[in-house]
Structures are given as structure tokens and as C-alpha cells.
């Protein structure tokens, strides 16, 4: 089995190679306490609010309980991380285990994950070493306990993943991929010809601008209007509301201003990075969790921008395609001897 997990700073997404199931939850974690309501015993479906995960090492009976996703956002101990070296943190393991469990993984399997383009070269081996061989007993939402083992970990660059997902690329020309995530926006130029795709490394990297930029601007403007500090979690909660009843603030207006400023920053960063090639680019494909939010702004700046299908899952689906191709290639190399089955 192959499970592809996009460990985004905003959302964790997962797919597998055996069915069409898609897993998604916010990248928020909190210490798990005892369920004072005893869950279903009193008719409450608390798991519908998010996920509760219990993990223990294979040779231990001691369990670590955590809240993940929407359930974590309602905890006093909720936390998100914008750390560049997130694979050196336990939270990434917890997210990956939760996603793999929900995606149907059990026993040994191949895990495909990604890194922002700017971090990929330096952190690829660290990410692989942090997760590969990890084996833990896992229970999610009081379900069956399963031993999950990351037998092999394949690490790919973001945006390249989206490139391998997209099935309607032109036969030839110069194309751009702009992958807007929560913390980073990855951009990539590729030369396409019949049967060949060549990424141009000189015009491919990451900028630390994304949805969190809009949320920080939103939080600052909210504080200016109310005098009340607002952290990123609070900004996330208010982002989809039209008004703040308590303070009678036009949240929708603040959101519009913050989104426009962040979108313009993303567009200007991409235009600067591709300045020498802008006249020759045929199409820019927009993807990532922030694609829907920023599409109108970037379309206004770059008229050749098009929305990629399933933008939030494009990288996860692309990593899955890349993993399949890599495994097939390894098997062909070993077809005259013992097959290597990842």
C-alpha cells in the first residue's frame, strides 16, 4: 500500500493507491485529556468534531493521547507550528500517523510526503530519516488499534507534486505552477514538450507568504478596530464569519482588505522571480489550499492564470503518482533479479 500525505501548515491531506478516499483535517494539535462526557455513552458524537489519537510504542503499554484537527481547535492547549524544520518535531509524526490511519493504512507500507521547494534539497534526508522505519501502535477515534509502520518514506518537492497530478498540461510550451499553501507559496517553471517535462530550477523556489500572511494582516486590522489581540487560531475562526457580534466589526471588510494585500504580495513575488520569462509563459496553473482564496487577485495580476482541478489535494495526488512511478522504475531495474517492492 502507498499512502500519500501532504503535511501542510494549514491542513493535512491524505490519499492512498487503493481507493478514492480523501482525508483532510486542520494542522492543529492539542494535549488530549479525559472525556468528561464519556462520548457516545451519553449520546454525544465527539469524534464528529475532529480526531482523538492514542499512540504507544510497540513494546509499551503507556499511551499518549492527543486531539487533532477541529477537536484540537476547541482546546485551551491548541497549537499550530510554522517551524521550517517541522519534520524534527513530534507533531509531524502525530499528523502523519493520524492521516495514515484514517486513510486505511495498517502494518508496513510506503509513505509519500513533500517539502516546500526552497527547503527540499536541505531537508529531504532529514525528513526521510525522521519518519522512515517508525512503527507505532495507533488508535484514532476509539477505533481498532493498528500497528502502523512507515517501511519506506519517499520525499518529493511541492509544486512538482502538483505538476505530476495535472492531467491536462499542454503538449508543449512554458508553464508555471503556483502552489499557495498556508505558510509558503511554491512556484515552478517547466518546459513542456511531447513526452517530456523539464522543471527550470533557476525559476523555481518558495516564498514564505501564504494564507498565514492574510490571517496575520487580518488579525492586526481586527486589533486596530477592537483593541483586542487576536492570534492565528482566533483569526482562523473569524475568517469565515461576516461580523464579530461582540465588537460589531465588519469582519468581511477586514478579510477583503487583508486577502487583497496578501494576494498582491504573492503576485509581486512571483512576477519578480519570473521577470525575465514572463513574456514567454503560456499558462500559469494555480493550486494549493490558498488557490481559491487568491485566484481572483492573481488572475488580475497574471491574466494567463488558470485554476488547477482539486487544488487542495493536488500535491497529495501528485506525490502518489510520483511514488507509483518510482516504485515501478525500481521494479524494472530489479526485474532480472529479486524484485524490490517498496
Q: For residue range 9-18, what is the model confidence (pLDDT) as tens digits?
A: 999 999 999 9
Q: Give the pLDDT score at 330.
A: 81
Provide CB contacts within 8 A for 35, sequence distance 6+: 46, 52
Q: By C-alpha distance, which of 258, 333, 249, 263 is closest to 302?
A: 263
Q: In the chain, which segments carry CATH 3.30.420.40?
A: 2-157+319-333, 167-308
Contact between 176 and 187 (Cβ < 8 Å): yes
pLDDT bin (cut points 50, 70, 90) of residue 42 is very low
Residue with cell 507533531: 91
Average pLDDT (234-250) is 72
Is residue 341 scored above 50 in pLDDT?
A: no
Q: Determine contact, residues 130/87, Cβ cutoff 8 Å.
A: yes
- In this structure, the strands spanning 305-307 and 283-287 are parallel
Measure the CA–CA gap between 333 and 206, rounded to whole angstroms: 34
Q: Read off the C-alpha cell for 171.
A: 503538449
State the Cα–Cα distance between residues 336 and 254, nearest whole angstrom: 63
Q: Which residue has the higher pLDDT, 13 or 333?
A: 13
Q: What is the mean pLDDT of the chain?
A: 87
What is the CATH architecture assignment of 167-308? Answer: 2-Layer Sandwich (3.30)
The pLDDT assigned to 281 comes to 96
Q: Which three cell numbers stand for residue 65?
A: 493521547
pLDDT at 337: 58
What kind of architecture, by CATH, is found in domain 2-157+319-333?
A: 2-Layer Sandwich (3.30)
Q: Mean of the pLDDT values across residues 180-198?
A: 92
Q: Considering only 79-93, 122-136, 204-218, 250-264, which range has the smallest mean pLDDT?
A: 79-93
* Model confidence band, residue 44 (pLDDT cutoffs 50, 70, 90): very low
C-alpha cell recorded at residue 15: 490519499
* Separation CA 139–CA 336 (nearest Å): 41
Segment holding 235, helix H or strand E: helix 232-239
State pTM to two decimals: 0.88
Amino acid at each position: 500500500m502507498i499512502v500519500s500525505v501532504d503535511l501542510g501548515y494549514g491542513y493535512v491531506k491524505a490519499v492512498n493507491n487503493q481507493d478514492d478516499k480523501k482525508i483532510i483535517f486542520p494542522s492543529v494539535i492539542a494535549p488530549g485529556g479525559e472525556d468528561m462526557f464519556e462520548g457516545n455513552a451519553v449520546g454525544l458524537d465527539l469524534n464528529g468534531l475532529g480526531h482523538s489519537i492514542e499512540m504507544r510504542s510497540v513494546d509499551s503499554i503507556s499511551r499518549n493521547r492527543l486531539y487533532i484537527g477541529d477537536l484540537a481547535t476547541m482546546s485551551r492547549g491548541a497549537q499550530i507550528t510554522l517551524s521550517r524544520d517541522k519534520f524534527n518535531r513530534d507533531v509531524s509524526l502525530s499528523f502523519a500517523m493520524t492521516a495514515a490511519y484514517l486513510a486505511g493504512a495498517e502494518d508496513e507500507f510506503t509513505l509519500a510526503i513533500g517539502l516546500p521547494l526552497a527547503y527540499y534539497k536541505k531537508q529531504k534526508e532529514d525528513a526521510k530519516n525522521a519518519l522512515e522505519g517508525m512503527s507505532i501502535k495507533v488508535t484514532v477515534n476509539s477505533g481498532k488499534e493498528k500497528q502502523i509502520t512507515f517501511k519506506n518514506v519517499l520525499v518529493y518537492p511541492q509544486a512538482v507534486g502538483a505538476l505530476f497530478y495535472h492531467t491536462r498540461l499542454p503538449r508543449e510550451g512554458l508553464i508555471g505552477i503556483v502552489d499557495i499553501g498556508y505558510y509558503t507559496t511554491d512556484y515552478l517553471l517547466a518546459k513542456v514538450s511531447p513526452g517530456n517535462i523539464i522543471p527550470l530550477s533557476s525559476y523555481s523556489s518558495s516564498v514564505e507568504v501564504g494564507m498565514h500572511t492574510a490571517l496575520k494582516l487580518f488579525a492586526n486590522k481586527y486589533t486596530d478596530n477592537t483593541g483586542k489581540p487576536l492570534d492565528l487560531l482566533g483569526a482562523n475562526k473569524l475568517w469565515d464569519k461576516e461580523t464579530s457580534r461582540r465588537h460589531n466589526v465588519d469582519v468581511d471588510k477586514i478579510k477583503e482588505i487583508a486577502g487583497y494585500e496578501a494576494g498582491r504580495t504573492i503576485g509581486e513575488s512571483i512576477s519578480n522571480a519570473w521577470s525575465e520569462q514572463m513574456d514567454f509563459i503560456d499558462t500559469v496553473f494555480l493550486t494549493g489550499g490558498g488557490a481559491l482564496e487568491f485566484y481572483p487577485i492573481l488572475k488580475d495580476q497574471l491574466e494567463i492564470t488558470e485554476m488547477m482541478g482539486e487544488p487542495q489535494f493536488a500535491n497529495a495526488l501528485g506525490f502518489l503518482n510520483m511514488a507509483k512511478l518510482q516504485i515501478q522504475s525500481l521494479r524494472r531495474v530489479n526485474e532480472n533479479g529479486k524484485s524490490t517492492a517498496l
